[in-house]
Amino acid sequence: MAISGNGDHQLKRIVLPSGKTIEVVYFSSNGPIDPVVEEEAMARVEQPVEAPEPPAVSPPSEHDLHVCPGCESDLVYPVQWEEADESHWHIVLRCPNCEWNENGVFTQDVCDRFDDELERGTDALTRDYKRLVTANLAEEIDRFAHALEVGGILPEDF
């Protein structure tokens, strides 16, 4: 907790109970730091920090998170998510069908079911994409073979 002065300011290093060190800069044109003010500030810094209250949890829903309560579409997806605490997630949901949005805190179990459904949707999209690419490539190969048969491709085309 050393104080060093340098003209119009003073620097004080404070070691917190957690072991972290902070530096406090006091700007003063009236001279040294008032000892009473310093003691009050130190008393506030050294008090233990109370744990934050756990986030409010949305009431349990009768439907899964991927189903829109407005239009019953099963295309609801997460826009943003972050861990609220050890067993809850804060998630912003959106339905692309009716533009419904929800901002809530959900239990890990509900989020696990939602994650499983999102994984199934990703797998379905991947399968459809591969089928589409294969169909497009097959069509392109057929057109190229037909062009070769009818003489539509000549050596000067290359």
Q: How many CB atoms lie under 10 A from the CB of residue 91?
A: 21
What does each C-alpha distance from 108 to 80, 85, 87, 111 come to in angstroms? Answer: 16, 10, 5, 5
In a domain, residue 14? The reply is yes
Query: Do residues 81 and 42 both lie within one domain?
Result: no
- Domain, as residue range, for 31: 3-46
Q: pTM of the entire structure?
A: 0.50
Q: CA 45, 46, 52: angle at the middle one, nearest 5?
A: 75
In 10 A of CB 151, how many CB atoms?
Answer: 7
Please tell me the total count of domains within the chain: 2
Query: pLDDT (tens digit, 9 = 90+) per residue, 79-138?
Result: 998 888 888 999 999 999 899 998 889 988 888 899 999 999 889 999 999 999 999 999
